[in-house]
Chains A and B, each alone.
Chain A
Amino acid sequence: MLLTEQEKEKALISQLTEKHAHQRSALIPILQAVQADYGYVSEFAMQHVADLLGIHAAEVYSVATFYQFINTKPKGKFIIRLSRDMSSIMKGAKVVARQLENDLGIKFGETTPDGMFTLEWTNCIGMNYQAPAMMVNNEIFSNLTPQRVHRIIEDCGEEFRSHRPTIGKVGDTFTNTLTYASHQANSGLKKALARSRSEVIGEVTASGVRGRGGAGFPTGTKWNLAASAKADTKYIICNADEGEPGTFKDRVILTQYADLVFEGMTIAAYAVGAREGIIYLRGEYTYVRAHLEEVIEARRKAGLLGSNILGKEGFNFDIRIRMGAGAYICGEETALIESLEGHRGEPRNRPPYPVDTGFNGKPTVVNNVETLATISVILDRGSKWFGAIGTERSKGFKLFSVSGDCTRPGVYELPWGTTLEQLLALVGGEGAKAIQAGGYSGELVPASEFGRVLGYEDLGIGGSVIVYGQERDLLEIAENYLEFFVEESCGQCTPCRDGNVKMLEGIQLLLKGKCSTRYLNELIGLGETIKLASKCGLGQSSPKILLAINKHFRDEIMARPIEASH
Chain B
Amino acid sequence: MCTKPFSSDTSRAPVSERGHRIDIDTTADAIGASVTVNIDGNDVKVPLGTTILDAAKKIGLRIPTLCSHPDLCTAGVCRICVVEVEGQRNLQASCAYPISQPIKIHTTTPAVRKARRHIIDLHLANHYGECYTCKRNNNCELQSLAKEYGVDYFRFGHPDKPRYEIDRTSSSIVRDMNKCVLCRRCVRTCTDVQEVGCLAVEGRGAESQVTTFADKPLASVVCINCGQCINRCPTGALSELDQTDDVWAMLDDPTKHVVIQTAPAPRASIGEAFGLEPGTPVTFQMNTAIKRIGFDAVFDANFTADLTIIEEGTELILRLYKALVGGDKSVMLPQITSCSPGWIKYIEHFYPDMLGHLSTAKSPQQMFGALIKTHYAARKGIDPKDIVSVALMPCAAKKFECNRPEMCDSGFKDVDFGLTARELAKMVQEAGIDLPKLSKTDFDDPFGTATGSGVIFGATGGVMEAALRTVIELVTGKKVENFYDHADIIPVRGFEGVRIVELPITEVGPVPDILKHLLTDWNWLKGATLRVGVGHGTANARKIMEDIKAGGPFSTCHFIEIMACPGGCLGGGGQPIPTSPEIRAKRAKAIYDEDAGYAVRKSHENPQVWEVYKDFLPEGPCSHKSHKLLHTTYTPRGKFIA
Which residues of chain B are near A540, meaning CB under 8 Å? Answer: 90
Contact yes or no, B214 A51, CB < 8 A: no
Per a CB cutoff under 8 Å, which of A344, A357, A500 touches B16? Answer: A357
With the chains together, A337 CA to B31 CA distance in Å? 34
Which residues of chain B are near A500, meaning CB under 8 Å? Answer: 205-206
Cβ of A9 within 8 Å of any chain B Cβ, yes or no, is: no
Cβ of B156 within 8 Å of any chain A Cβ, yes or no, is: yes
Beta-carbon contacts under 8 Å, B86-101 to A: 90-91, 93, 96-98, 100
Size range of the interface on B? 35 or more
Cβ of B77 within 8 Å of any chain A Cβ, yes or no, is: yes
Per a CB cutoff under 8 Å, which of A46, A337, A498 touches B206? Answer: A498
With the chains together, A490 CA to B125 CA distance in Å? 19
Cβ of B425 within 8 Å of any chain A Cβ, yes or no, is: no
Contact yes or no, B197 A529, CB < 8 A: no
Distance (Å) between the CB of B156 and the closest chain A CB?
Answer: 5
Cβ of A493 within 8 Å of any chain B Cβ, yes or no, is: yes
Given A351-B100, A357-B15, A498-B122, check contact A72 B214 (CB 8 Å). yes
Beta-carbon contacts under 8 Å, B175-211 to A: 181-182, 184, 191, 196-208
* 9 additional contacts (CB under 8 A) given A61-B214, A491-B182, A535-B76: A47-B640, A491-B201, A491-B204, A494-B79, A495-B79, A495-B115, A500-B205, A500-B206, A533-B119
Which residues of chain B are near A493, meaning CB under 8 Å? Answer: 76-79
Cβ of A534 within 8 Å of any chain B Cβ, yes or no, is: yes
Given A47-B640, A59-B200, A532-B111, check contact A499 B118 (CB 8 Å). yes
Cβ of A62 within 8 Å of any chain B Cβ, yes or no, is: yes
Cβ of B74 within 8 Å of any chain A Cβ, yes or no, is: yes
Cβ of A352 within 8 Å of any chain B Cβ, yes or no, is: yes
Per a CB cutoff under 8 Å, which of B90, B115, B205 touches A491? Answer: B205
Cβ of B14 within 8 Å of any chain A Cβ, yes or no, is: yes
Which residues of chain B are near A348, meaning CB under 8 Å? Answer: 14, 16-17
Which residues of chain A are near B199, meaning CB under 8 Å? Answer: 58
Contact yes or no, A495 B212, CB < 8 A: no
Cβ of B126 within 8 Å of any chain A Cβ, yes or no, is: yes
Cβ of B641 within 8 Å of any chain A Cβ, yes or no, is: yes
Which residues of chain A are near B204, meaning CB under 8 Å? Answer: 65-66, 327, 329, 344, 488-491
With the chains together, A348 CA to B18 CA distance in Å? 11
Given A59-B200, A349-B93, check contact A533 B76 (CB 8 Å). no
With the chains together, A533 CA to B212 CA distance in Å? 29
| A–B Cβ pairs within 8 angstroms, 25 of them | A43-B213, A47-B639, A58-B200, A58-B221, A59-B197, A61-B213, A65-B203, A327-B204, A344-B201, A357-B15, A492-B182, A493-B76, A493-B79, A494-B78, A495-B115, A495-B122, A525-B118, A528-B111, A528-B114, A529-B118, A532-B82, A532-B90, A533-B119, A534-B90, A535-B79
Per a CB cutoff under 8 Å, which of A338, A490, A534 touches B79? Answer: A534
Cβ of A501 within 8 Å of any chain B Cβ, yes or no, is: yes
Which residues of chain A are near B212, meaning CB under 8 Å? Answer: 58
**Smallest Cβ-Cβ distance to A329: which chain B residue:** B204
**Smallest Cβ-Cβ distance to A338: which chain B residue:** B14
Cβ of A526 within 8 Å of any chain B Cβ, yes or no, is: yes
With the chains together, A361 CA to B191 CA distance in Å? 20
Which residues of chain A are near B118, meaning CB under 8 Å? Answer: 495, 499, 525-526, 529, 533
**Smallest Cβ-Cβ distance to A533: which chain B residue:** B115
Contact yes or no, A498 B123, CB < 8 A: yes
Distance (Å) between the CB of B274 and the closest chain A CB?
Answer: 33
**Smallest Cβ-Cβ distance to A532: which chain B residue:** B91
Which residues of chain B are near A334, meaning CB under 8 Å? Answer: 16
Contact yes or no, B96 A349, CB < 8 A: yes
Which residues of chain A are near B197, meaning CB under 8 Å? Answer: 55-59
Cβ of A251 within 8 Å of any chain B Cβ, yes or no, is: no
Contact yes or no, A491 B78, CB < 8 A: no
Cβ of A487 within 8 Å of any chain B Cβ, yes or no, is: yes
Which residues of chain A are near B205, meaning CB under 8 Å? Answer: 486-491, 497, 500
With the chains together, A219 CA to B184 CA distance in Å? 35
Per a CB cutoff under 8 Å, which of A352, A499, A533 touches B98? Answer: A352
Cβ of A421 within 8 Å of any chain B Cβ, yes or no, is: no
Cβ of A502 within 8 Å of any chain B Cβ, yes or no, is: yes
Cβ of B155 within 8 Å of any chain A Cβ, yes or no, is: yes
Distance (Å) between the CB of A525 and the closest chain B CB?
Answer: 7
Which residues of chain A are near B640, meaning CB under 8 Å? Answer: 47, 51
Beta-carbon contacts under 8 Å, B1-26 to A: 12, 14-17
Per a CB cutoff under 8 Å, which of A329, A491, A502, A533 touches B91? Answer: A533
Contact yes or no, A58 B213, CB < 8 A: yes
Cβ of A522 within 8 Å of any chain B Cβ, yes or no, is: yes
Beta-carbon contacts under 8 Å, A494-538 to B: 494-495, 497-502, 522, 525-526, 528-529, 531-535
Which residues of chain A are near B191, meaning CB under 8 Å? Answer: 56, 59
Per a CB cutoff under 8 Å, which of A59, A72, A488, A494 touches B123? Answer: A494
With the chains together, A490 CA to B182 CA distance in Å? 12
Which residues of chain A are near B201, meaning CB under 8 Å? Answer: 62, 344, 491-492
Which residues of chain A are near B207, meaning CB under 8 Å? Answer: 491
Contact yes or no, B641 A62, CB < 8 A: no
In this complex, the member of A344, A492, A502, A535 whose beta carbon has the largest number of chain B beta carbons within 10 angstroms is A492
Which residues of chain A are near B119, meaning CB under 8 Å? Answer: 494-495, 529, 533
Contact yes or no, A349 B16, CB < 8 A: yes
Distance (Å) between the CB of B100 and the closest chain A CB?
Answer: 7
Beta-carbon contacts under 8 Å, B64-80 to A: 74-80
Distance (Å) between the CB of A333 and the closest chain B CB?
Answer: 12
**Smallest Cβ-Cβ distance to B76: which chain A residue:** A349
Given A502-B122, A526-B118, check contact A533 B202 (CB 8 Å). no
Beta-carbon contacts under 8 Å, B211-243 to A: 212-214, 221-222
Which residues of chain B are near A495, meaning CB under 8 Å? Answer: 79, 115, 118-119, 122
Per a CB cutoff under 8 Å, which of A51, A62, A531 touches B639? Answer: A51
Cβ of A413 within 8 Å of any chain B Cβ, yes or no, is: no
Given A361-B15, A497-B205, A501-B206, check contact A533 B79 (CB 8 Å). yes
Mark interface residues in B611-642 (1 if CB within 8 Å of A CB, else 0).
00000000000000000000000000001110
Beta-carbon contacts under 8 Å, A455-513 to B: 486-495, 497-502
Distance (Å) between the CB of B73 and the closest chain A CB?
Answer: 11
